[in-house]
Amino acid sequence: LSAQIGGESTYRFLSLTNSARVAALGGSQVAINDSSDLNLPYHNPALLRNAMMNNLLFNYVNYMADIRFGYASYAFPVGNLGRMAAGVHYINYGDFIEADEEGNITGNHFNAGEYALNLIWAGQFRKWHYGINLKPVLSVFESYQSAGIAADAGIAWFSSNNLTSFGLVARNFGTQITTYYENGERESIPFDLQAGISQKLAHAPIAFNLTA
């Protein structure tokens, strides 16, 4: 017999974008340099800029069925050590009705959800910006739980006239620390290597973005 796989990796919610703007631009943008939008360091921690300091962000997404997810973050300076932001990313898969292995409904209800802290730090050397996002993860499906650790590491370069920017980020590298059940096999997490360039026109409100 042949059947589809259950999934290529666990903690897939880490790949979701919480930003309406980034979703409208394709879901992944790692080189935008035109605002104080605190959503941008979520996709590339090197994009955490001084203009974002002391900003507070809340996102809420009403997804398909009764799935909900969102993101909250706050950015603050840390003196000579650079810039930091702390946030929480979560997804709630809704309410489920329990059934046994034969499909008989028991009538019990349970929930499923996943949560990740986002601890972002960024620094700068001349025109080069760099950053890292450390993401402890907790995943809970009924009585099955898993904890893990993921991270993003990125760099960005901005031209002197701020018309051209480049970004490179390795997203979601890490591992499960505990599996969903005892002696279970550790699953991979959704690693993604992304590079992007953004070019704004000098005399028109248009920018071209390319992400690979």
3-state secondary structure labels for all residues of the chain:
CCCCCCCCCCCHHHHCCCCHHHHHCCCCCCCCCCCCCCCHHHHCHHHCCHHHCCCEEEEEEECCCCCEEEEEEEEEECHHHCEEEEEEEEEEEEEEEEECCCCCEEEEEEEEEEEEEEEEEEEEECCEEEEEEEEEEEEEECCEEEEEEEEEEEEEEECCCCCEEEEEEEEEEEEEEECCCCCCCCCCCCCEEEEEEEEECCCCCCEEEEEC
The pLDDT of residue 5 is 66
**Once rounded to an integer, what is the mean pLDDT over residues 87-97?**
95
The pLDDT of residue 52 is 95
pTM: 0.90
pLDDT tens digits, one per residue of 131-168: 999 999 999 999 899 999 999 999 999 999 889 999 99
pLDDT over threshold 90, residue 68: yes
pLDDT over threshold 80, residue 196: yes
pLDDT tens digits, one per residue of 113-133: 999 999 999 999 988 999 999
